Structure 1
C-alpha cells in the first residue's frame, strides 16, 4: 500500500506545490536521503530538476538564477556535509544581494541535539550569511514558511534564505493552507526627494552616476539610459555590474572594478555630485574606500537603494532615497533637465576616455595575447551572449576589453568567488537555451567546480568553457610579488590537459597556444554542438593588462 496516498498530501508534496505557486521553474540539487519525500514530489511536478556534482555548484546555480531573474533561485542539498559544501553559494548571494533559497535536509526532530549522524545547527552555521534561517518543522505551516522564505529573499536588499527540512516531518500529512504568489514590496521615491535631487543636479557642474546592485529589469535599465541621455550624465557601473548600462552608449564612462581606468577614478574623485543608484559602493567599486570619505563624503552624495537600512550604514549621504531601481529609474527619467546643463560635454569626454582605455589590447609576453582574445569575443559574440566567470587574474582582461551590451549578459560574483563560471553557465543555459553562453575561468578557478562539466554533458548544454591556463594561482601570485618579491610559494600549479579532460567527459576539447588559433578553436567548439573546453595556454608573466609579473617584482624590489 502507498503510505503517502493513504495520508493525502504530504509535507514534501506541499512544499513542492508551494514552489510551483511561487513560479519556480528550476531546482538545482545534489540528492540526499534526508529529503527523499521532496525529491519524489518533484518527479511529478512541472519543475525542471538539474542534478549537480557538488553542492557548491548547485548553490551557485541558484544564485545565478536569482541575480538574472530577480526571483529566488532554488537549491536543495542534504544535511551536514551537503549544507557545508553549499555555504559558498549562500555567501555569494549574501555579498551580491541575490535572492535565493537553499533547502537543507535535516535530521529527524527526535534526534536533535544528540550529535546525530550529519546533524548541523543551521541557524548557527548560516545565520551570519543569510537573511533568515528557518525550519519546516510544523506540518500545519508549510504555506506560511514558504511564503516567508520567498518574501524575505526578495524584500529590501535581496539575499539568501536557508530552510531546514526535518526528514520525519516531510513524510507527515500536510495540514497547511497554500500561500499566494509573493510579490516583493517595491519602495518608490517620494516627490520631495525627487525635487531636491532635481535642484542638486541644476546646481552641479561635475556630476556622475554610479549604478550597481540588484532589483533591475529591462524597463528600469532602459529608463536609466533615458535619464542619462536627457541630463547628459556620465554613467559608471559598479564592480561586475557592467551589464546594467550599454557599454557602447555615448554616456558610458566605464567600470569601477579591479583595474579601473585611472581617468575614471579621477573623474569620480573630482565630482561635485555622485548619484549612486542601486548599489552599496563597497570596497572594490570604492577603490579600497578611497573614492568617498567615510562616514561623511566631502562631495554631495545622493544614494538610492531598495533597503532603507543600507542608507547611511556606510556613507552618510546628502540625500537618501529608499527606492528600488525598478521604481527609481522611471522616476529619474521623468525629471526635467535644467534649461542649461552646466556639465555639457562631460559625458562624451568620459565615454571617449573609456573607449581609449578599452579599445586596443595591450602587448603581452608569450604566444597568446589574452586582450586580443577578449577583443575577438567582443566583436564576434552575439550582443545578448551571456558570459559567466569566477575569480582570478584573467578576469582583468574581460573587464577591460569586453563590452557588455544587454541586461544579464554578465553573470559573475562581486564577491570574486572561484569556481563560479561553469555552474553559473549551466543555470543560464537552462534559463535561456537560445542564447550564447560562455564560461570563462582560470586554471585554478575552473578546477574549483570543473566537475560540473559533467553536468553540462549530462544535459547536453552547448556551453563553451574557456580555461585560461598560466599554471598558477595568478592573482595571488601577483599580490605575492608586490609584497614579497621573488619569494613565490603555494601558487604554482600542475595542470591537466583540459582539452583531454573535456573529451573524457564526452564533450569537445581544443587547445590554443597562439592567439591566431583562438577563433578557429572557438568556432569548432560551437559547431560541435556539445559542451566544450577551449584550453588557452598563456605565459605566467601575463598577470594583468598593465604590467608583467617581472615588472611588478622589479618595482617592488626597487621600492625596498
Structure 2
C-alpha cells in the first residue's frame, strides 16, 4: 500500500496514541493538515498564537505523561513557538514540535521565511531532525519520540520540508510508541540508600518535577511515612504531595523564607529524587552547596549527565524517578535508633506558621491572600489549578492548599503567558474537572487571546487576574537594586470584566477584601467560563512582603 509521507506521519502519531495536536495553521505544512482531515482519532486544536499553542501542548504532556505535539509554520510561526520549547527544556517536559519548511530545492538559498533550525534551536532542543526523504518518516518520528522521553525529557524539533510531505512511500505497521531508555535502580543501589538513610537523624527528601504519575506520588507518600522523612517540593512542584500531608513542608520559591531556611540547615542527609538540583531549588547552589555539600546527598535522576554537574553527590543513581520510588517503597526498612518525629514535627510546624493567613486591609486595593483563601475554600476536590509566572504566584504558593486529587500546573521557566493556554488545555483534557488559573495582568495580556480558543472548544475555564498595574517581579527587583528609579514597569490595563465579556465570557470583579468570598463562590459555581478581575493592592506585590 502506498501513501503520502504526510499520511504516514499522522498514522504514526495515532499509533503512538496521540489524540490531540495544537497548532496555528500554515501553508508550509498543508499536506499534514490535509492528512488530518479524515483522521477522526486526532483532534486538531487551532490556536490564536503559536506561543499559546506551544503552552497548550506542554500542559497536555504534563496531564497525559506522554509528549505534547505542536505543529507550526516556518519562520515567524516557529519563532513565536520558541517560548514553549524553552519552557519544555527548563521544565523537562517531552514535546514534539513539527515545523513546516521551505521545499527541498529551496534549502540553503535564503528562501522566503527560511531558517536554519539546527542553529536556531540547537541549544534548546534535545535534537533537531530535518526529514529530507519521506521514506524516513517512520524511523525518524520514532527516533524523535525516543529522544523526547529519554534521560531528561524535553523538546525535539522535527523539520518538514513542504514538498517532502507529498512523497509517496510504502506503508509500514507501527510497533507502538518507543519507551524511555533508562535503567532502574539495582538491588545494591536500594540497599545502599536504605543503609545510609537509616543512619541519618535529620534527613530531607527533595521531590522534583519527574515525579509526575499517580503511582510515583503514592510511593513518595509511602516512603515519607515509612522512613519518617519531611518532603520539600522542588521549585514549582507544589503538587508532588498533598499539601495537608503531615510530612509536607512546602515547595522552594525564588528565595526561601528564613523561618524555613534556618531550620533546614540542621539537615544531615538529602535524598533528591526527580530534580536536577538547579539554582533555584538549591537557593543559588547553597543548599545543598556546590561543589561539595555540607551533608551527604543521594541524587536520583534519569539522566547521568545531570548527576554531579553542579553538586557532588555521596551517591548518584541513574533511574526513572517513579521506578526508584516504587522499588524503594517495597524495600525493607532497617531498624534505627533514631526517632524522626520531632524533626518532621519541627519542619511541618514552621510550614504551618508560614502558611497561616492574616489579612492586611489596604485602601489601595485587595489583599490577594483573601482571594486565594476563598479559592481554597470553594475549589472542588478534583480541581486542576494552573499558574502563570509572576509575583502574584507567591500568594498561591503560600496560601493555597493543594489537596489529594487536585493538581497544579506551573512552569519553572518563568515564562509569562502560560496561564490561559494551560487552562484551555487542561479543560479540554479533563472536562469533568474544575480548572482554575491564576495570573497577573502582565501574563493575562500575553496569551489571553486564547480565551477565544476556550470558547470555540467549549472549555470551561475559571481565570483569576491579579491587576496591580505593574510588572510586579521586575518592579520588586528595581526597588531592591535601584530604589526610587522605576523604568518600564507601570501598566495601563483594560477593564478585564468588559474584556472577558467581549469573548462572551462572564466577568466578575473584586475591588474590596469583603468581595472575595461571595464572588469566588459565584464564579466557581457559574456554568461556563469566567474571568475574575481582582484589583490588587500594589502595596504588597509579594506574599512575603511585610
Band of TM-score, shorter chain: over 0.9
Q: CA deviation at 1:530?
A: 2.6
Q: CA deviation at 1:286?
A: 1.1
Q: Which moved more, 1:471-480 or 1:537-546?
A: 537-546
Q: Distance in 2 between matches of 1:193 and 1:15?
A: 41
Matched, 1:185 2:178: no
**Which of 201, 217, 221 is the equivalent residue of 1:221?**
217
1:56 maps to: 51
Q: CA deviation at 1:507?
A: 1.1
Matched, 1:11 2:5: yes
Q: Distance in 2 between matches of 1:293 and 1:527?
A: 47
2:298 maps to: 302
Q: Secondary structure at the match of 1:542?
A: coil
Q: Which moved more, 1:412-421 or 1:37-46?
A: 37-46
1:552 maps to: none
Q: Secondary structure at the match of 1:219?
A: helix
Q: Secondary structure at the match of 1:236?
A: strand
Q: Is the 8 A contact 2:438 2:465 kept in 1?
A: yes
Q: CA deviation at 1:509?
A: 1.1
Q: Which moved more, 1:171-180 or 1:69-78?
A: 171-180
2:24 maps to: 30
Q: CA deviation at 1:186?
A: 4.0
2:128 maps to: 133
Q: Distance in 2 between matches of 1:407 and 1:280?
A: 26
Q: CA deviation at 1:362?
A: 4.6
1:77 maps to: 72
Q: CA deviation at 1:355?
A: 1.5
1:245 maps to: 241
CA distances 1:291-329 after superposition (whole Å, capped 9, x unpaired): 122112121000000111211111110011111111100
Unaligned runs of 5+ in 2: none
**Which of 227, 236, 252 is the equivalent residue of 1:231?**
227
Size of the alignment, in residue pairs? 542
Q: Distance in 1 between matches of 2:182 and 2:401?
A: 30
CA distances 1:107-126 after superposition (whole Å, capped 9, x unpaired): 00101111111111111111
Q: Distance in 2 between matches of 1:163 and 1:408?
A: 34
Q: CA deviation at 1:216?
A: 2.7
Q: Is the 8 A contact 2:235 2:252 kept in 1?
A: yes
Q: Is the 8 A contact 1:147 1:180 kept in 2?
A: no
Matched, 1:439 2:434: no
**Which of 535, 539, 544 is the equivalent residue of 1:537?**
535
**Which of 145, 163, 167 is the equivalent residue of 1:168?**
163
Q: Distance in 2 between matches of 1:361 and 1:152?
A: 48
**Which of 249, 254, 278 is the equivalent residue of 2:250?**
254
- The 5 A counterparts of 1:359-438 are 359-363=356-360, 365=362, 366-406=364-404, 409-438=407-436
**Which of 94, 118, 125 is the equivalent residue of 1:123?**
118
Q: Secondary structure at the match of 2:157?
A: strand
2:468 maps to: 470
Matched, 1:329 2:321: no
Q: Is the 8 A contact 2:375 2:520 kept in 1?
A: no
Q: Which moved more, 1:218-227 or 1:75-84?
A: 218-227
Q: CA deviation at 1:528?
A: 3.9
The verdict on how the C-alpha distance between 1:363 and 1:440 changes in structure 2, with shifts beyond 3 A counting, is same
2:281 maps to: 285
TM-score under structure 1 length normalisation: 0.94
1:354 maps to: 351
CA RMSD, aligned part only? 1.6
Q: Distance in 1 between matches of 2:381 and 2:262?
A: 30
Q: Which moved more, 1:180-189 or 1:494-503?
A: 180-189
Q: Secondary structure at the match of 1:76?
A: strand
Q: CA deviation at 1:499?
A: 0.8
Q: Distance in 2 between matches of 1:370 and 1:358?
A: 14
1:487 maps to: 485
Q: Secondary structure at the match of 2:484?
A: coil
Unaligned runs of 5+ in 1: 1-6, 549-560
Q: Distance in 2 between matches of 1:512 and 1:363?
A: 16
Q: Secondary structure at the match of 1:535?
A: strand
The verdict on how the C-alpha distance between 1:260 and 1:293 changes in structure 2, with shifts beyond 3 A counting, is closer
Q: Distance in 2 between matches of 1:155 and 1:364?
A: 50
Q: Distance in 1 between matches of 2:13 and 2:297?
A: 41
Q: Is the 8 A contact 2:255 2:283 kept in 1?
A: no
TM-score under structure 2 length normalisation: 0.96
Q: Distance in 1 between matches of 2:449 and 2:544?
A: 33
CA distances 1:91-133 after superposition (whole Å, capped 9, x unpaired): 0000000001110000001011111111111111111101111
The verdict on how the C-alpha distance between 1:452 and 1:196 changes in structure 2, with shifts beyond 3 A counting, is same
Matched, 1:104 2:99: yes
Q: Secondary structure at the match of 2:386?
A: strand
Q: Distance in 1 between matches of 2:380 and 2:526?
A: 18
Q: Secondary structure at the match of 1:244?
A: coil
Q: CA deviation at 1:403?
A: 1.5
1:68 maps to: 63
Q: Is the 8 A contact 2:374 2:520 kept in 1?
A: no
The verdict on how the C-alpha distance between 1:517 and 1:362 changes in structure 2, with shifts beyond 3 A counting, is closer
Q: Secondary structure at the match of 1:495?
A: coil
**Which of 68, 80, 90 is the equivalent residue of 1:95?**
90
Q: Is the 8 A contact 2:215 2:322 kept in 1?
A: yes
Q: Distance in 2 between matches of 1:526 and 1:407?
A: 18
Q: Distance in 2 between matches of 1:118 and 1:320?
A: 45
Q: CA deviation at 1:68?
A: 2.5
1:47 maps to: 42
Q: Is the 8 A contact 1:187 1:327 kept in 2?
A: no
Q: Distance in 1 between matches of 2:274 and 2:512?
A: 41
